[in-house]
Structures are given as structure tokens and as C-alpha cells.
Structure 1
Amino acid sequence: MTICTKLAAGFVALCGAAGMAAAETYDLDALRRAVEKYKDVEVALSEGYIPDPSGQCVHAATEGLPAEWGGMGVHYLHPGMLVLAPPGDRVDGMGTHTDFMKPAILLYEPQADGTMELVGIENLVFEAAWKAAGYEEAPMMNGRMWDYMADKPETSADEAHGFMPHYDQHIWLFRENPMGEAMPFNPNVTCDHHQM
């Protein structure tokens, strides 16, 4: 039972307004300023971000998608914001964090010299947790519904990149994306220099 169904009939309108909290609008320049400090990956690590436990650098080609779509890079996750579950076959969690001013995921592109370059940010909510919180539709950011990702057992690719079914939204703040700043893959991001 959601919080909305627990409220008295006179407050149902408030539940609709609360549901709208999942539709957020952000100024991209303000977001850049808010997360610029994470250009130094050591700052990200000191604030609790960790490299994706799978160790992978996500690229469309390795996901069975057209290589020209490009990559996402290496994801640095904040376990506290994602409320990650104990390790299992797939990354899972109970978080419903959607604040891009403090993103749950930072996206880095591995460089030839071994350093990591911040290229974007992301938020992710696991489908089960999102629905348990009373939301029926995906979150929205700047008028765009977040992407839904779930692995399809009938394919050899892992469409959810090792995660349980989830909604996510990428924002390319520090690397131009010709496909759009909110698209999941970026043709200008590569995994060519990734080392496991």
C-alpha cells in the first residue's frame, strides 16, 4: 500500500502533486558547477563513490548495439544514494535518489595515461524500489522520461549492464554528445584505454 492510498480522500490531490516531484528541471550550467569538483577522481573517492563493481567500461559495441553510438564510460557509484543491496548476480538496490545536483553516478572516460576524465553524470533508480515508493511511471528530467533498462535473456548482450531492471538518466556535462545531452550513449566517449 502506497502512502497515497493511506491518506484521507481529501488529500488525494496532494499525492498527485507528490508524484510530480519525479519530474524535475535543471539548469545544465548549474549542474556543471555543482559537480565540477569530481573532475578530480580522488575527490569522488573521498566522498564515497566507488568504481562499478563489474569493472567494466560500458560501450555500445560490447552491449550488442551499434558501435557508432559510442560509450558511457566507467561508472563510479555512490552506494549510499543507490542504497545498494549486498553483492549478488546483478547490482541491485532500494534507492530512489533523483537529485542531479548530487548525482548517484559519475561517468568517467579512461585516458591513455591511466587517468580518468569526468564526462557526465547519471542517476538511477531500481524499478522495484521506484514502484514500491508509489511511482507508476519513470522519472522525468527536463521534459525527458528516463530510460528503462532490463536485461533480455533471449539475447547474448547485457542490456542492463549487470544491473537489475532500472530507470536511468545520463547527462553529458563535460563531453559534447551529438545525439543529445541526455541520451544514454555518447559517440564522443570511448573505452579504448580501459584497463580492468
Structure 2
Amino acid sequence: MRRKSLVVLSALVAATLAPGGTALAGGGPGGGKLPPELQEVRDATARFHSVWEAKAEGYELASPCVEGMGFHFAKSLAADQSELNPTEPNVLVYAPTPNGGLKLVAVEYASKTAATLFGQDFDPPNGLPFYTLHAWIWKKNPKGVFNAVNPKVSCDVKPHKSSGRR
């Protein structure tokens, strides 16, 4: 069943998601303090700056890089809102870095039914079999903390030029 959920979640990248979500005034990395409930998620997910830690806890790569989002590492797909735990997101989102690494930038929640977290309704399926909610708690999103797409995340990251030193 878990494999099926990951395959379904992988469909997230096969479709073009319409920008959705609601902007959160202020708040977020580089843009002020997060509300307490999002700071709690940030504290709970800090260990996942290491992709290896995420993999050790059951998150698996579920997508190639999605422009405006990054790579999705999925752990599960909630059957309904009762299975959602704010401090244990179903999906971790990583952006590529110029040195070839991955940087944790957001968390995402996915549910088979309509759901609400942090006072935000999940984005509708938009052709997918699940509802989603992104929370950009590790990288500022000028479109808002809960917007699905972040224009500051690009899959076309250029490597740093070598300084010529060895």
C-alpha cells in the first residue's frame, strides 16, 4: 500500500500545478518570524536538512526536480485529515544547490480528501487524486508561505565557477 501511495504522490510532478494557496503576511525565513505552529514544524523538521536523515526515516525520492518547487521526498499519503500530523509532513521539498547538493526549502502535506491545516485549505487535486498544502518554512516565498510554487526555486541551477585553486 505504501508503494502505491508513493506512486500516486509521484504523479504530483507529472501534472502542472496551478499556483494556489494563500499568502501569509510577513513570516518566514528572511521575512520575519513564523507563527508558532509553523515554527514548531520548522523545529521538528530541522534534522531533515540532511537528505540522508530523511531517507533513514522513510522518505523516498518521489519526483524529478519540479520548476518552482524542487525535488519531492515522500513518506506517505494521508487517507484523510485525521491522519495528518503537522510536525510530521508527508513530503519534504528540496531545492538543488550550485554545488550539486540539495537544500531543504519546504514541507508538503498530501491527503486523499479535502483538508485544512494552519487555517489553510489544501489546494484541490487539479487532476491529481489528492489535495496538497505546501509550507515554505525553510526558504522565503514571495508569493506566500502556503503558495504551491516558489519563483525563487529553480531546477536550472548553475554550478559555481571554480576559483582555479586546488
TM-score, normalised relative to structure 2: 0.67
Distance 1:95 1:115 in 2: 32
RMSD after superposition: 2.0
Return the offset for 1:186.
0.8
Which structure is larger by alpha-carbon Rg, 1 or 2?
Answer: 1
State the number of aligned residues.
122
Alpha-carbon deviation of 1:56? 1.8
CA contact (8 A) 1:26 1:142 kept: no
Mapping of residues 1-196 of structure 1, within 5 Å: 27-52=37-62, 55-59=63-67, 71-78=68-75, 81-82=76-77, 95-96=79-80, 97-126=83-112, 130=113, 138-151=114-127, 164-193=128-157
Shift of 1:75: 0.3
Letter in 1 for 2:65: C
Cα distance in 2 for partners of 1:139, 1:114 equals: 35
SS at match of 2:66: strand
Considering fraction of residues, name the structure with more helix: 1
Q: Which runs of 4+ in 1 moved over 4 A?
A: none
CA distance in 1, matches of 2:72, 2:125: 15
1:95 Cα offset (Å): 3.2
User: Would the aligned equivalents of 1:72 and 1:184 in 2 still touch at CA under 8 Å?
Assistant: yes
Distance 2:79 2:54 in 1: 19
In 2: Cα distance, 1:178 partner to 1:193 partner:
19
Q: Higher relative contact order at CA 8 Å, sep ≥6: structure 1 or structure 2?
A: 2
- SS of the aligned residue for 1:113 comes to coil
Deviations 1:112-170 (A, max 9, x none): 222110001001012xxx3xxxxxxx21122221101233xxxxxxxxxxxx4211000
Q: Which letter maps to 2:79?
A: G
Whether the 8 Å CA contact 2:86–2:117 is kept in 1: the answer is no
Q: Which runs of 5+ in 1 are unaligned?
A: 1-24, 60-70, 83-93, 131-137, 152-163
Q: Unaligned stretches of 5+ in structure 2?
A: 1-34, 159-166
Q: Percent identity?
A: 31
User: Normalization by structure 1: what TM-score?
Assistant: 0.58
The DSSP-based 3-state class of the residue aligned with 1:108 is strand
Paired AA for residue 69 in structure 2: M
